[in-house]
Structure 1
Amino acid sequence: MKHLLLLTFTLTLFSSCTKEATCTDGMIRWGGEPAVDGLGWYFISADLGNKPVKLKNLSGNYQVDSLQVNACLTLLTEKYQCFCAVPLDMYKVEKIRRR
């Protein structure tokens, strides 16, 4: 019985630690071809510190320079390695729509 109770408690604890998506207004930008040291498509938002962030699963429908969007994003643990001062944070797009 103790083992079942401990297992239930542990599963409840870990299932409640899921990351929540952050929804914010921002802009999709083109930072140049990554093959020649550009950033490719990135997202910038005042809520994320006005620094470029990479969107891991950005649909081709939204790959338009200066496109204003509202996006719900989840921060990933991986970083985008580039020729920048600091590697960029990467986010997974949960929901996105044009503004």
Structure 2
Amino acid sequence: MKHFLILAFTLALFTSCKKEIQCTDGMIRWGGEPAADGLGWYFVSADLGNKPVKLKNLPENYLLDSLKVTTCVQPLTEKYQCFCATPLDMYKVLKISRR
């Protein structure tokens, strides 16, 4: 019984640490030059709360304002520091395609 509890605890620990992957439709936007207090390129999606988020490894061929995309992303622990009310959440792009 003791071994079962240790195994169950270990399994719960590892599964709870896994970062959740989310696939969603949204739009790539240009928020102005970061050197001039803008946001640069960011992503907006209803599934992510309609707030701007930064995509860490967004491919260059997707840097078009108002581009509609479908993407699978994974949240990162780091935040994008900007001159905004709160730092933006950052996500890693796992898969992206135009809609």
- Match of residue 16 from structure 1: 15
- Structure 1 gaps of 5+ residues are 1-5
- Match of residue 48 from structure 1: 48
Structure 2 residue matching 1:16: 3-state secondary structure: helix
Amino acid at match of 1:96: I
Amino acid at match of 1:31: G
- Match of residue 3 from structure 1: none
Amino acid at match of 1:45: S
TM-score, length-scaled by structure 2? 0.85
Distance 1:14 1:72 in 2: 24
What does the per-residue CA deviation read over 1:9-31, in whole Å, with 9 as the maximum and x for residues that have no partner?
74x44543321211110000011
Amino acid at match of 1:70: T
In the TM superposition, what are the counterparts of 1:86-97 in structure 2 within 5 Å? 86-97=86-97
Percent identity at matched positions?
73
Distance 1:16 1:49 in 2: 25
1:29 aligns with 2:29: yes
Distance 2:15 2:77 in 1: 18
Structure 2 residue matching 1:39: 3-state secondary structure: coil
TM-score, length-scaled by structure 1? 0.85
- Structure 2 gaps of 5+ residues are 1-5
What does the per-residue CA deviation read over 1:25-60, in whole Å, with 9 as the maximum and x for residues that have no partner?
000001111111110100001111111000011010
What does the per-residue CA deviation read over 1:50-88, in whole Å, with 9 as the maximum and x for residues that have no partner?
110000110101111100000111111111110101111
